[in-house]
Structure 1
Amino acid sequence: MTYVVTDNCIRCKYTDCVEVCPVDCFYEGENMLVIHPDECIDCGVCEPECPAEAIKPDTEPGLDRWLKLNADYAEKWPNITARKEPPADAKAMDGVENKLDLYFSPEAGEGD
């Protein structure tokens, strides 16, 4: 099992989760984070830290697409280990549907 970041992170991009991760397995895109599934130790401490509830265990049904997206972009994006301020419109974007198709950016973030 591993944890995955799902669509509600897109354009919310809260980074509270990266501060508690004991293995630094988060990677930063322009407008979301992902978890490297081969680095995640399944401790689960990140899940309750996400204000947008965008982190889920990969054992939940229907997350295959997100597991693949997390794995793919963790190889491309820079590692992030410190909390940053969320985007100004994060609260407004929390809960917006269909974010992957409407707002996802494949561009890398800044990392640490």
Structure 2
Amino acid sequence: MAFIISSPCKEEKAGECVEVCPVDCIEEGKDMFYIDPDICIDCGACEAVCPVEAIYHEDELPEEEKEYIEINRKYFQE
């Protein structure tokens, strides 16, 4: 998994990330967006346009946001 969408996206759902993704790997969930790790090509386009700075490379995700790694994985397992 390359990029993770974290808590600032929750209830925000601005959607700029979806518009710029060249491989259409971002899906809208009930209360936030999620990045499909099997489709993401690690380009970073989504991170650059996120107005709430919710998107991080997995290696740079703040410690307090680490739970979103598992939240994102579970979303795509359903």
Band of TM-score, shorter chain? 0.7 to 0.9
Residue 53 of structure 1 corresponds to 53
Which residues of 2 match residues 62-81 of structure 1 at below 5 A? Answer: 62=63, 63-76=65-78
**Shift >3 Å, 4+ stretches:** none
- Pair member with larger Rg: 1
Instruction: Name the % identity.
Output: 43
Unaligned runs of 5+ in 1: 77-112
Residue 25 of structure 2 corresponds to 25
Unaligned runs of 5+ in 2: none
RMSD value over aligned CA atoms? 1.5
1:93-112 CA deviation, whole Å, 9 max, x = no partner? Answer: xxxxxxxxxxxxxxxxxxxx
- Structure 1 length-normalised TM: 0.61
- Structure 2 length-normalised TM: 0.85
Q: 1:55, 1:11 → 2: CA distance?
A: 14
Q: Does the CA-based 8 Å contact 1:6-1:54 persist in structure 2?
A: yes
How many angstroms does 1:29 deviate by? Answer: 1.1
How many angstroms does 1:75 deviate by? Answer: 3.8
Q: 1:15, 1:74 → 2: CA distance?
A: 19
- Going by fraction, where is strand more abundant, 1 or 2? 2
Which residues of 2 match residues 32-51 of structure 1 at below 5 A? Answer: 32-51=32-51
How many angstroms does 1:36 deviate by? Answer: 1.0
How many angstroms does 1:74 deviate by? Answer: 2.8
- Going by fraction, where is helix more abundant, 1 or 2? 2
1:28-83 CA deviation, whole Å, 9 max, x = no partner? Answer: 1122001011211100010011101000000115354212211211344xxxxxxx
